[in-house]
Amino acid sequence: MMIEKKFGEHFQWGGGFAANQMEGAYLEGGKGLCLADINEFLSDVAIDKKNNEEITTAYIANAVKENSRNFPKRRGIDFYHRYAEDLKLLGKDGLGLNAYRTSINWARIFPNGDDEKPNEEGLRFYDRLIDEILANGMEPMITMSHYEMPLNLTLKYTGWYSKETIGFFEKYGKVLLDRYYDKVKKWILVNQINLITHESFNHLGIAEDKVENLAEAKYQGVINEMIACAGITEYSHNHYPDVEIGMMLCGGPAYPATCKPEDVLAAVKHNQMEYFYGDVLLRGKIPGYAYRFFEDHGFNIEVSKEEAEKLKNHCDFFSFSYYYTRLCDQQHYENGNEGFRNPELPANPWGWSIDPLGLRTFLNLFYDRYQCPIYITENGIGYADELTEDSQIHDPYRPEFYRQHILQMKEALADGVDLRGYYFWAPLDIVSCSSSEMSKRYGFIYTDIDDEGNGSGKRILKDSYAWAKKVIASQGEDLE
């Protein structure tokens, strides 16, 4: 038997993006305010907790009426108006991508979340966008929820903690499937659904002053979210059997920090609560270890018999983002089930560790567990690229990062992993998710906008663009 380390002609080389980080035009086309629209840029990136973890209704009210502060995701990179030229740089006549992942901004379709009818002007924008993606030779993979919940669902309800939100999301998902089933064959329900600590508010929309126990509310919220996901999956399977529904995690299991049995067990328990979301959405039920976790923490989680039955409608594929690996020991597990950075690994300027071998490890662990198609829907590295006087970007560190990760993907293929796609994050510089800055750049294409929104907006090809184009054209064979 021959061991294959080739990606093959049907492998998807994609670009990963999010509507809230690039579209801008935050009040155009009938769009309502979404969670990302109140993410403020703070020059001290260590303070980005305010944007991503715990937030109050008073902060929301102040951010909504405040126009003098810097909310970069409101302007993005003006993709809303420039998508045609940007897609041309990325597709068949440019970088050569054959797949393109982005999200639909929930608040463009249902501005308040609980609207009776969808916003037709918002749908027409995505009609044009999806057609343009296809015209540029890229297959769309669309995320239904990527930190774009209508802000009204936080204020009028309690975000995902409210059972009403289940119905609102199911309605939204059905509208998207009915509209695009013939053009979009791959959907991700929720971006990085396991992020309920970091990116907590952006994900779940639960204001801390509206609940008594925020930690409990987060788990109830994400379970409500998964019930809604199962409802959308059921609808898709019943009405559009050729459409594939996927779920997505951020990262994967942590390494034990030491070989002490207590640390190994702590890592096992930590990792179970990372697998938890995939176990529900791909295996169809809440596992026993999760109920033990809830009991140990005193959480009262409500799931009716009807909701448990709905969860049996499981997804079709698994996807995950990969940026770094973490460690876990008994102390960190007991202190909020936290992981921490591996000091043995190099890191980028933001402290994100670089571990190509970890990608192969994760691919094997995930495939062993779920035995279904896998897509790496985000992988990349942020650096503060410097524009030279003659408007060039020399970024040899970026090809080296990708080269080492692609080599480990080949090893995973030889291990028997059913890996079907790899999406660079993000081939065009966009606003950073966690810190709302432009200076943390991932792309092969430089966007001339700074952290304050100044700049020409011009798109400039970096040195890495030519390298990535060669890699894609050779189906991952030419990595030099």
Rounded distance, CA 271 to CA 188, Å?
Answer: 22
Q: How far is CA 260 from the centre of its chain?
A: 34
Helix 288-296 with 261-283: angle, nearest 10 deg: 120
Rounded distance, CA 373 to CA 202, Å?
Answer: 28
Half-sphere exposure of 7 (CA within 13 A, CB side): 23
Among candidate residues 199, 378, 400, 411, the one labeled active-site is: 378
Rounded distance, CA 53 to CA 330, Å?
Answer: 23
Rounded distance, CA 22 to CA 3, Å?
Answer: 41
Element (H, E) at 38: none
Give the dihedral sign, CA 79/471/191/91: positive
Strands 326-328, 419-425: pairing is unpaired
Rounded distance, CA 280 to CA 388, Å?
Answer: 49
Rounded distance, CA 192 to CA 206, Å?
Answer: 17
Report which residue type is found at 68: S
Rounded distance, CA 163 to CA 155, Å?
Answer: 14
Rounded distance, CA 164 to CA 415, Å?
Answer: 44
Give the dihedral sign, CA 104/108/113/116: negative
Element (H, E) at 136: none
Rounded distance, CA 76 to CA 181, Å?
Answer: 28
- Name the token pair of 117: 């009818």
Residue 10, exposed/middle/buried by CB under 10 A (0-12, 13-18, 19+)?
exposed
C-beta separation of 173 from 235 below 8 A: yes
Known catalytic membership, residue 378: yes
Residues labelled as active-site residues = 378
